[in-house]
Amino acid sequence: MSSSNIAQNLAQNLAQSGSFRSQSATHPGTTGRHNEDACLNRPDLGLWAVADGAGGHESGEVASAEVVAQLQAIEPGLSAADMLQEVRARLEKAHENLRTAASNRGAHAMMATTAVVVMARDDHFACLWAGDSPAYLLRGNTLTKITRDHSLVQEMVDGGIISESEAAHHPQANIITRAVGADADALSLDKRTGQLMQGDRLLLCSDGLSKTLPPERLAELLAMDGEGSAERLVMAAVEAQAADNVTAITIDFDGDNGSITVDASRGSAASADEHRGAAHDDAPTVGGHIS
């Protein structure tokens, strides 16, 4: 597919507010499928999200759009703690709405989507997610994965059955173990928090990007200077014949702050106490901001 043909199907948005400058880009991919991804780019709220309608289920695009619509409706002016609580509540509402809509379609219907959400205030961020749409932090030339996939292949990697390199191309790589709208009564979310440094760049994406480009290529493209980082990533994945929808949001932090430690080993699944936003989150509390 030529660059001109890719650009014809590319949707993008650039926004800036305060210390944050962000861009979103999305493309249906190379297989002729309609785009079941959805994304939210709201630096004015300190809020970004990517949702990937679950493949093989009815109306994946409806499910991802429901998540984004719920988050889009959040009012400005909330404190960091209230924003985190509101995002949880909105995701739980989307979960409930999708389960109700699916039940109206029949006993075996499912309308589900992944969701990865980042909230940021000052130099602190929190990330909530369900499914295998990942989030990354680029600091200098080092790329760290913030999230841990809720997927069958991740469980196989954890169990030593397959390697990380085998996971992306495994025949069961598309099976997720958590999703908004899935058949669990309560939505289970994992959370990570951290602190940002000037020059940091965050990436949220669908697995159409992360399973097409290896981490070293993601880091290379993210580290390039100039505008258009999300567009650059999406176009690279489509040029590499991405077989799925491809969506990316990049978030640049221009503030000035001290050090941060993001412990990738803490990206493990949360306990059952996490289901309804209980206090035992899968991350340390950072400062007095988003926790």
Query: Nearest-5° angle of CA 240, CA 212, CA 23?
Result: 90
| The pLDDT of residue 267 is above 60 | no
In a domain, 291, yes or no: no
Hey, what amino acid is at 17?
S
Task: For strands 20-27 and 37-42, give the pairing.
Answer: unpaired
Name the more confident of 280 and 88. Answer: 88
Helices (H) and strands (E) in the chain, counts: 8, 11
Within the chain, what is the greatest distance between any pair of CA atoms?
Answer: 54
Higher pLDDT: 130 or 287? It is: 130
Handedness of CA 208, 131, 26, 98 (dihedral sign): positive
Residue 141 lies in a domain: yes
- Cβ count within 10 A of residue 81: 13
pLDDT in tens, 70-83: 999 999 999 999 99
Q: Measured between alpha carbons, how far is 231 from 229 in angstroms, rounded to an integer?
A: 5
Burial of 185 (0-12, 13-18, 19+ CB in 10 A): exposed
In a domain, 290, yes or no: no
Q: Is residue 286 part of a domain?
A: no
- Residue 177 inside a domain? The answer is yes
The predicted pLDDT at position 7 comes to 63
- Does residue 42 belong to any structural domain of this protein? yes
Helices 80-103 & 60-72 angle (0-180, nearest 10): 150
Each residue's pLDDT tens digit, 48-70: 999 999 855 558 999 999 999 99
> What is the domain-level CATH number for residue 233?
3.60.40.10
Assigned token pair, 120:
């940021």
In a domain, residue 198? The reply is yes
Instruction: For residue 18, give its domain range.
Output: 3-266
Query: Global pTM?
Result: 0.85
**Mean pLDDT within 175-180:** 94
Strands of the sheet with 201-205, listed across from one edge: 11-17, 20-27, 246-253, 201-205, 135-139, 142-145
Number of domains in the chain: 1
Which of 18-22, 163-167, 257-261, 264-268 comes out lowest in average pLDDT?
264-268
Supply the mean pLDDT for the chain.
Answer: 85
The pLDDT tens digits of the residues spanning 114-158 come to: 999 999 999 999 999 999 999 999 999 899 999 999 989 989 999
The tokens 């924003």 sit on which residue? 83
| Whether the predicted pLDDT of 269 surpasses 50 | no
Residue 288 included in any domain: no
Contact indicator for 193, 284 with CB cutoff of 8 Å: yes
Reading the block at residue 263, the tokens are 């412990």
